[in-house]
Amino acid sequence: MPFEISASLTITGLDFDSQNITDKLGIIPTKTWKIGDLIHPKGTIKRKHNGWVIESNLSKDNEIEDHIKSLFEELHPVWGVLQEISNNYDLEISCVVYTDGEVPSIHLDQEIINKSQQINAEIDVDLYVLPENTIENEQQRKKLVKFT
């Protein structure tokens, strides 16, 4: 496979407790952090905001649209609460594409645009072009590790 895609919804702000966001939404986040936490364990740069993240649970070979729609589907039961949260905190839909040559379709339909606007969410797409066959070689290595 020549690419891997993921998407997540991130809530950030200066004055919230991630447990409070979890309680309001009734959804266990994929990741949280607090102001002052290190961004990377081996680094020195610290977080400037509190954060709460939920990632799409689709496989990495799905399109960006599918990942975002999957997130929206999961959040649908608490959409009103999410809209309230968006009045006080920053929301971002973050999409990451790793490719070793072939670039997948990056398309956001009207439904995604409208729903993103409803929750005042920005959309960020990061594209990382890796050396040829990097993703395929890594996937093959993971398969070998599973069998040994």
- 108, 45 contact by CB (below 8 A): no
Instruction: Look up the domain containing 135 and give its range.
Output: 3-145
* Residue 141: pLDDT over 60: no
Q: How far apart are CA 49 and CA 37, in angstroms?
A: 9
pLDDT tier at 147, thresholds 50, 70, 90: very low
> To the nearest whole percent, how much of the chain has pLDDT over 90?
75
Give strand pairing partners of 93.
9, 123
Q: Which helix (H) or strand (E) element contains residue 96?
A: strand 90-99
* Residue 24: pLDDT over 70: yes
- Please count the structural domains in the chain: 1
Q: Identify the weakest region by mean pLDDT among 26-40, 85-99, 102-116.
A: 102-116
* Residue 123: pLDDT over 90: yes
Sign of the torsion formed by the C-alpha atoms of 30, 12, 8 and 87: positive
User: Would residue 133 be called left, alpha or beta, if left means φ above 0 and alpha means ψ between -120 and 50 degrees?
Assistant: left
Average pLDDT value for residue range 117-146: 76
* pLDDT score recorded for residue 76: 97
* pLDDT score recorded for residue 140: 56
* pLDDT score recorded for residue 148: 44
* pLDDT score recorded for residue 103: 76
